[in-house]
Amino acid sequence: MRKKLTEPSSNPNQKYFKLYKPIIIKAKGDVPQTIYTHLYIRKPDIYRSQVGDVDFFLAPKEYLKIKKSLIEGANIKDGRIFPRQDLDMIELYHPDIDALAYVSTKMMTETVRVKQN
């Protein structure tokens, strides 16, 4: 299925694959349109129960505002600053959901994509 949907890669450790045709989900109500440009294939991790994750990015100003509020002690339900010094992200989690979400800036999202490739 990956070969039909994405550009080829010679890197066997790659996780992100560029889609030939982006997946576009139209806006609905107050949820903006979303465009997926890459397919992410998560390698199983015996130390984590989650089966997947999704990355979201915000404008730097908005991201820093939320991050600052967390640093200053704000309580965002099921949200925390990701506990790795090399990755500037906010992690969203819930014990009843087997996937994680990460919020960061577009630049960090692209940095992580390159770092993981």
Per-residue confidence in pLDDT tens, the chain, 117 aa: 888 999 988 777 777 889 999 999 999 998 889 898 988 887 777 777 777 788 888 889 999 999 999 999 988 889 999 888 888 899 999 888 888 888 888 776 666 655 554
Residue with tokens 């450790």: 13
Beta bridge partners of 17: 39
Tell me the pTM. Answer: 0.63
| CA gap 13, 82 in Å, rounded | 23
Pairing of strands 99-105, 52-58: parallel
| CA gap 31, 59 in Å, rounded | 16
Beta bridge partners of 20: none
CA dihedral 70, 94, 26, 7 (to 10 degrees): 100
Residue with tokens 């992580």: 112
Among residues 37, 32, 33, 34, the alpha carbon closest in space to that of 20 is found at 37
